[in-house]
Amino acid sequence: MGHLLALDLTAYWATTTIKVLVVLGLIPAGALILGYVFLLKMMSFMQSRLGPMEAGPYGTLQLVADGVKFLQKEDIFPDRADRRVFALAPVVVLMSTFLLYMVIPAGPRLIVEDLDTGVIFALAVSSLSVIGVLMAGWASANKYALIGALRAAGQLIAYELPLVLAVVGVAIQAGTFSLQGIVHAQAEGSIFGIGAIGNPFILTQFVGFVLFLAAAQAELSQTPFDMPVAESELVAGYMTEYTGFRFLFFFMGEFGTAFALSAIGATLFLGGWYLPGVHGTLADVVGPLVLGAKIMMVAFLIFWVRFSYPRFREDQLQAIAWKFLIPISLVNILVTGVLKVVVK
Amino acid sequence: MPDFPGKGLFKGLGVTFKTMLEPNVTVQYPHEKEAPPTRARGVIALKEENCTVCMLCARSCPDWCIYIEGHKDKAPPRREGGKPRTVQKLDRFDIDYSLCMYCGICVEVCPFDALFWSPEYEYSEVRIADLLHDKDRLGEWMKTVPEPPPLEVGATPAKGAKK
């Protein structure tokens, strides 16, 4: 018995280590991919220029070079900063990103932890970053950082609601909060009796998808919702006093979260890892690629909007959340609920 | 497209999407070179024999990047038995291209056609002091100055112009 327990524990630690390492590798990889494909290249093309071309073929290594540059920089603390909080803040932000990856399924069995309340867990964890942002702003002993942090807090709290409410519609339709369950619901679903491509919820929950995208945009504080880091008024908001690898942490947190939220969006609305006609072990192999492709589609929408629109004013930003997105999402939930009962 | 609220938002997305698909205008400079237009303002060339040290260019320069020194000299008289003429000889004519803003006022203002635009643009230097071109270097640029555009039909050629 004792022997068995020991074996189980070894297996547990082995799988846990592997999972942690995979996620730890995924965050920088996701950040690099999104950063290169969208921030460097797509934005450049949208502005009719080439973007970085010299570091590596077509500038692919530009972000790696930037990362190395950040690592070489001096680790500066402002004179009157709260040193411990200041140092901890980027870690808290990155931690929230890290936890987001826990519940995203990349295949029938490729998931760190298939929680029954996966969606709720993901959204709860994503709002942890507010604490890190507030810590950063407060500990910097800089008024711009503080203003940026408070703006970020106000914004993230305001847009948390439409994000959750948009997801509720999906949860009602799927009948589960587990992300794996939502993927299965989409794979096995059918629209008007036609089940060839399953039922990606973007078709039946299109309003929810738009709401989710808008709220995710704000959660990531991407333009047009980038008041917290509005560089023309606040330098860089809560990141003003950060340099070197601590700034890199914020950067990775931002793009890592963008990657994770795109993955959640892809899972909720585009069917996640599911590709029609692929089942069993093959789905475990193809799944991550399918999910990756769908992530890129969602991320494309997010960054397309980011590079096209100017910034909202603070009051407009709050008004959009409270007067526009939340009522619509409540109506969406109501309609979904009624249809669920009526149609079923 | 009919009008509806938020139409502009979609229009904006359309513009960025269209631009993304279009070929972009960047020229990969050190690898490939752009052919500047013939009359591009690349560098200013000096035709030393036309300069009379009148200082108009130096005085009109907004950032004072032209340095001129000269002295009076005697030249043989035009006619036999005449008085020797007084001419201005150019000792120094420098343009500091680290200050020059390529406004072209000096070229415009020169009454004796001693300054010309040349489309050459590849004269960057490692040391900023090397951007000060002296009159020999400025004279070298004359080779790259394009021919003036032909006169219109029936126009009177300038006095003393070559046929």
pLDDT given at position B101: 92
Mean pLDDT of A31-41: 86
H helix or E strand, kind and range, residue B115: strand B115-118
Pick B19's closest partner by Cβ from A48, A50, A53.
A48
Pick B12's closest partner by Cβ from A44, A53, A308.
A308
pLDDT interval class at A2 (50, 70, 90): low
Between CA B155 and CA B151 the distance in angstroms is 6
First to last CA, chain A: 49
Q: Give the phi and the psi of residue B11 in degrees, each rounded to 5.
A: -60, -45
Q: Give the phi and the psi of residue A54 in degrees, each rounded to 5.
A: -95, -40
pLDDT surpassing 90 at residue A220: no
Instruction: Tell me whether A47 touches chain B (CB under 8 Å).
Output: yes
Report the residue of A40, A41, A308 to disrupt the B interface, i.e. the one with the largest count of B CBs within 10 Å.
Answer: A308
User: For A65-105, how does the pLDDT look when each residue is reduced to its tens digit (9 = 90+)?
Assistant: 888 888 888 888 888 888 888 888 888 988 888 888 888 88
pLDDT given at position A102: 83
pLDDT given at position B117: 92
Mean pLDDT of A121-133: 87
Mean pLDDT of A270-282: 77
Q: How many CB pairs under 8 A join A and B?
A: 34
pLDDT interval class at A23 (50, 70, 90): confident
pLDDT surpassing 50 at residue A37: yes
pLDDT interval class at A181 (50, 70, 90): confident
Handedness of CA B50, B53, B58, B59 (dihedral sign): negative
Contact criterion met (CB below 8 Å) for A100 and A126 = yes
The residue ranking higher by pLDDT, B137 or A232, is B137
H helix or E strand, kind and range, residue A189: none
Nearest to A43 by CA among A309, A310, A307: A307
pLDDT surpassing 60 at residue B163: no
Between CA A287 and CA A157 the distance in angstroms is 33
Between CA A179 and CA A267 the distance in angstroms is 7
pLDDT given at position B161: 60
Between CA A124 and CA A118 the distance in angstroms is 10
> What are A160's two structure tokens?
């948390």
Between CA B106 and CA B94 the distance in angstroms is 13
The residue ranking higher by pLDDT, A9 or A142, is A142
SS3 A51: coil
State which amino acid sits at residue B142. M
> What are A198's two structure tokens?
């399953």
Instruction: State the smallest CA–CA distance between residue A40 and chain B in angstroms.
Output: 13
Helices A2-34/A83-100 angle, 10° precision: 100
Mean pLDDT of B24-28: 83
pLDDT surpassing 60 at residue A4: no
Nearest to B117 by CA among B47, B52, B17, B19: B47
pLDDT given at position A6: 62
Q: Give the phi and the psi of residue B92 in degrees, each rounded to 5.
A: -145, 135
The secondary structure of residue A190, as a DSSP letter, is: -
Does the distance separating the beta carbons of B12 and A49 come in below 8 Å?
no
pLDDT given at position B109: 93
SS3 B155: coil
Q: Which residues contact B8 (CB under 8 A, 6 or more apart)?
A: none
Instruction: State the smallest CA–CA distance between residue A147 and chain B in angstroms.
Output: 29
pLDDT surpassing 80 at residue A109: no
pLDDT surpassing 70 at residue B130: yes
Alpha helices, H only, chain A: 2-34, 43-46, 62-72, 83-100, 118-126, 129-139, 143-174, 179-188, 201-204, 206-219, 231-234, 244-269, 280-308, 314-319, 326-343
Between CA A302 and CA A43 the distance in angstroms is 12
User: For B39-97, how does the pLDDT look when each residue is reduced to its tens digit (9 = 90+)?
Assistant: 888 899 999 888 889 899 999 999 999 999 999 988 888 888 888 888 888 899 999 99
Does the distance separating the beta carbons of A48 and B25 come in below 8 Å?
yes
Pick B24's closest partner by Cβ from A49, A304, A305.
A49
Nearest to A276 by CA among A208, A212, A194, A207: A194
Instruction: Tell me whether A281 touches chain B (CB under 8 Å).
Output: no
Q: Scanning the structure block, which residue is given the tokens 């409410």?
A: A165
The residue ranking higher by pLDDT, B108 or A239, is B108
Q: Which residues contact B127 (CB under 8 A, 6 or more apart)?
A: none
Pick A309's closest partner by Cβ from B12, B20, B22.
B12
Nearest to A100 by CA among A251, A254, A275: A254
Mean pLDDT of A55-59: 83
| pTM over cut 0.90 | no
Residues of B with CB under 8 A from a CB of A: 9, 12-13, 15-17, 19-22, 24-26, 28
| Closest A-chain CA to B26 | A49
pLDDT surpassing 50 at residue A54: yes
pLDDT given at position A224: 84
Between CA A205 and CA A211 the distance in angstroms is 10
Does the distance separating the beta carbons of A308 and B16 come in below 8 Å?
yes
Does the distance separating the beta carbons of B25 and A49 come in below 8 Å?
yes
pLDDT given at position A1: 46
pLDDT interval class at A192 (50, 70, 90): low
The secondary structure of residue B145, as a DSSP letter, is: P
Does the distance separating the beta carbons of B28 and A304 come in below 8 Å?
no
Asked if the peptide bond before residue B5 counts as cis, ω within 30 degrees of 0, the response is no
* Residues in chain A within 8 Å Cβ distance of B28: 50, 53
> What are B151's two structure tokens?
């006169």
Does the distance separating the beta carbons of B9 and A304 come in below 8 Å?
no
CA atoms within 13 A on the CB side of A3: 0
Contact criterion met (CB below 8 Å) for A246 and A150 = no
Report the residue of A41, A48, A49, A303 to disrupt the B interface, i.e. the one with the largest count of B CBs within 10 Å.
Answer: A48
- Could you give the dihedral angle defined by the CA atoms of residues A281, A285, A287 and A293, in that order, rounded to the nearest 10 degrees? -160
The residue ranking higher by pLDDT, B68 or A14, is B68
